[in-house]
Amino acid sequence: MNALDRYALRRTVREAGQTLALAGVASPEVDARLLAEHLLGGPLLLADGAPEGFAPAYAALVERRAAREPLQRILGVMWFRGLELECRPGVFIVRPETEVVAGAAIEAARAVASEEGRGPVVVDLCAGSGVIAAAVAAEVPLTRVWAVEIDAAALALARENCERLAPGRVEVVGGDATAPAVLAELDGSVDVVVSNPPYVPAGEVEDVETAGYDPDLALYGEGADGLRLPLAVIERAAALLRPGAVLVMEHDPGQGAALRAAALGAGFTEAVTGQDLAGRDRYLRAVTEPNPRT
């Protein structure tokens, strides 16, 4: 198979974008470019052509993406708040809306560092691949982070991602994030709990890529409304957090009112719903009762 000159290369990538658009891919031109750069080993903009064998290898990747295999799975990497993390089969692929959730937790951690002049203690419950924990550690350098994950494949990946991106900064723990015995030694001392738990209501995954490639364990929150696990996270967070501390938890757009009520019922004195960049209700931000003034 012949090599491609720069004009043939760009025409090939342009045609791939058209193929992906017809397949219903949300960002076809971007995905076509990233697939090409994956094979080229550098930016398409700087490429003066492609070597022999590029065309069939590229066509195979485009075919996989057109079949709606997630881009992150094909490339083996995913991106989150400027970090590049490894992506593996069987582990949940992080979504852009979770960057807003992580941002709210990072803001709360920074407030502790600024107002109290110390490194905050942050716990990430249902940590998955470790993306939130790694982002908190990377963006708030004095933070001490614990991350809890029950799935063995996700746990192994979280340890690798966190150690590579924030060496020695994140303690990744295997176990049920809602179990009182897990991190019991931290009860009453945590400044921020952040969580992206399984929360999807039964049968409500509509995106073909999510339904086909993300594990059910990371998606469904159990119960018809998907609230069993999020409610358990609220209860566990209430025990972990110190007075005046913050819980940030991602949820389905239709779960905001129920989770605000649950947080207030669990002893939090403030519970509000935050929106993602598309304006949809996306996360709970709840604050524990502060210490009484003396």
Average pLDDT of span 256-273: 97
Q: By C-alpha distance, which of 249, 251, 217 is closest to 234? A: 249
Q: What is the pLDDT of residue 293?
A: 56
Rounded Cα gap, residues 268 and 285, in angstroms? 10
Q: In this structure, are residues 158 and 136 in contact, taking their beta carbons and an 8 Å threshold? A: no
Residue type, 60: A
Q: What is the pLDDT of residue 294?
A: 37
pLDDT digits (tens, 9 = 90+) for 79-114: 999 999 999 999 999 999 999 999 999 999 999 998
Bridge-based pairing of strands 121-125 and 190-195 is parallel
Rounded Cα gap, residues 19 and 29, in angstroms? 10
pLDDT digits (tens, 9 = 90+) for 21-59: 999 999 999 999 999 999 999 999 999 999 999 999 999
Average pLDDT of span 172-184: 97
- Taking the CB of residue 131, how many other CB atoms lie within 10 A of it? 31
Q: Can you spell out the DSSP letters for 97-113?
A: HHHHHHHHHHHHHHHHH
pLDDT > 50? residue 283: yes
Long-range contacts of the stretch 10-13 (C-beta < 8 A, 24+): 10/44, 12/36, 12/50, 12/55, 12/58, 13/44
Residue type, 226: G
Rounded Cα gap, residues 129 and 179, in angstroms? 20
pLDDT > 70? residue 60: yes
Residues above pLDDT 90, as percent of the chain: 87
Q: Work out the pLDDT band at 1, boundaries 50, 70, 90.
A: low
pLDDT > 80? residue 252: yes
Host H or E run for residue 262: helix 256-265
Please state, rounded to an integer, the average pLDDT across all residues of the chain. 94
Q: How far apart are the first and last CA of the chain?
A: 79
Rounded Cα gap, residues 129 and 142, in angstroms? 22
- Taking the CB of residue 202, how many other CB atoms lie within 10 A of it? 12
pLDDT > 50? residue 132: yes
Q: Is the dihedral of CA 293, 187, 130, 270 positive or negative?
A: negative
Q: What is the pLDDT of residue 97?
A: 92
Q: Give the pair of three-digit tokens for residue 225.
A: 């409304």
Q: Can you spell out the DSSP letters for 46-86?
A: G-SEE-TTHHHHHHHHHHHHHTT--HHHHHTEEEETTEEEE
pLDDT digits (tens, 9 = 90+) for 182-235: 999 999 999 999 999 999 998 777 678 888 888 888 888 888 899 999 999 999
Q: Can you spell out the DSSP letters for 156-202?
A: HHHHHHHHHHSTTTEEEEES-TT-TTTTGGGTT-EEEEEE----BPT
Q: Give the pair of three-digit tokens for residue 169.
A: 């900064």
Average pLDDT of span 50-74: 96
Q: What is the pLDDT of residue 206?
A: 66
- Taking the CB of residue 4, how many other CB atoms lie within 10 A of it? 20
